[in-house]
Amino acid sequence: MSITDQLVSLRDEGLAAIVAADDLATLDAVRIEYLGKKGSLTGILRGLGALSAEERPAAGKVSNEVRVALEEALETHRAELASAALAARIGAEAVDVTLPGRARPVGSRHLIEQIRAEIVEIFLGLGYRIAEGPEVELDYYNFTALNTPPDHPARSLADTFYVRDLSGEEAAVTGESDVLLRTHTSPVQVRVMEKEAPPIYILAPGRVYRRDIADPSHLPQFTQVEGLVVDEGITFGDLKGTLDHVCKAIFGPDRRIRFRPHFFPFTEPSAEVDVSCGICAGSGCRFCKGTGWLEILGSGMVDPNVFGYVGIDSERYSGFAFGMGVERIAALKYNIPDLRMLLEGDMRFLRQF
Partner 1 sequence: MLVSLKWLKDLVEIPVPVVELVDRLDLTGTAVESVKSAGDALDNVVVGQIIAKEQHPEADKLWVTKVDVGAGEPLQIVCGAQNFNEGDKVPVALVGATLPNGMTIKKAKLRGVESRGMNCSARELGLGEDHEGLMILPADAPVGTPFAEYLGLSDTVLELEITPNRPDCLSVVGVAREIGAVFDRAASTRASTPAETGAPVADFATVTIDEADTCPRYTARLIRNVKIGPSPAWLAERVIASGTRSISNIVDITNYVMFELGQPLHAFDADLLAKNEGGQVSIGVRTARAGEKLTTLDGAERTLAADALLITDSSGPIALAGVMGGQSTEVHGGSLNILLESACFNQGSISRTSRRLGLFSEASSRFEKGVDRTACVAALDRAAALMAELCGGEVAPGVIDAYPLPAEVRELTLRIPRLNAIIGADISAAEAGAILTRLGCAVTGSGDVLAVTIPTFRADLEREIDLIEEVLRIYGMERIVTTLPSGAGRLGELTREQRLRERIGATLRASGLNETMTYSFGDPGDTARLRDVLEEGEVLCELLNPMSAEQSVLRRTILSGLLRSVSYNQRRGVPNVHLYEIGGTFRAVDGRKQPKEHAKVAGVLAGAWHEPTWNEPAVALDLFDGKGVIEALVRELGAKRFKVRAAELPFLQPGRAAEVLVGGEVVGWLGEVHPLVLDAFEAEAPVTAFELALAPLMRAAVDAKPFTDVPRFPAVELDVAIVVPEDVTAERVEQSIVSAGGKLLDSVRLFDVYRGAGVPGGKKSMAFELAYRAADRTLTADEVESAHERLLRKVCAAVGGELRG
Closest to partner 1 by CB, 63 vs 299, is 299
Query: Distance between the two ends of the chain, CA-based, in angstroms?
Result: 88
For residue 12, the minimal CB distance to partner 1 (Å) is 52
Closest to partner 1 by CB, 78 vs 240, is 240
For residue 272, the minimal CB distance to partner 1 (Å) is 8
For residue 338, the minimal CB distance to partner 1 (Å) is 14
CA distances for 105 relative to 99, 102, 213, 294, angstroms: 18, 10, 36, 38
For residue 88, the minimal CB distance to partner 1 (Å) is 24
For residue 124, the minimal CB distance to partner 1 (Å) is 4
Closest to partner 1 by CB, 72 vs 254, is 254
For residue 221, the minimal CB distance to partner 1 (Å) is 6
For residue 196, the minimal CB distance to partner 1 (Å) is 13
Measured distance CA(132)–CA(137) in Å, rounded: 12
Closest to partner 1 by CB, 27 vs 219, is 219
Closest to partner 1 by CB, 265 vs 278, is 265
Q: Are the CB atoms for 264 and 300 separated by under 8 Å? A: yes
Report the 10 Å Cβ neighbour count for 353: 14
Identify which of 295, 322, 326 has the alpha carbon closest to the alpha carbon of residue 203.
322
Closest to partner 1 by CB, 60 vs 290, is 290
Q: Are the CB atoms for 152 and 265 separated by under 8 Å? A: yes
Measured distance CA(188)–CA(137) in Å, rounded: 10
Closest to partner 1 by CB, 50 vs 213, is 213
Measured distance CA(190)–CA(62) in Å, rounded: 105
DSSP 273-300: EEEE-TTTTTS--TTTTTSSEEEEEEEE
Q: Are the CB atoms for 3 and 66 separated by under 8 Å? A: no
Measured distance CA(262)–CA(268) in Å, rounded: 9
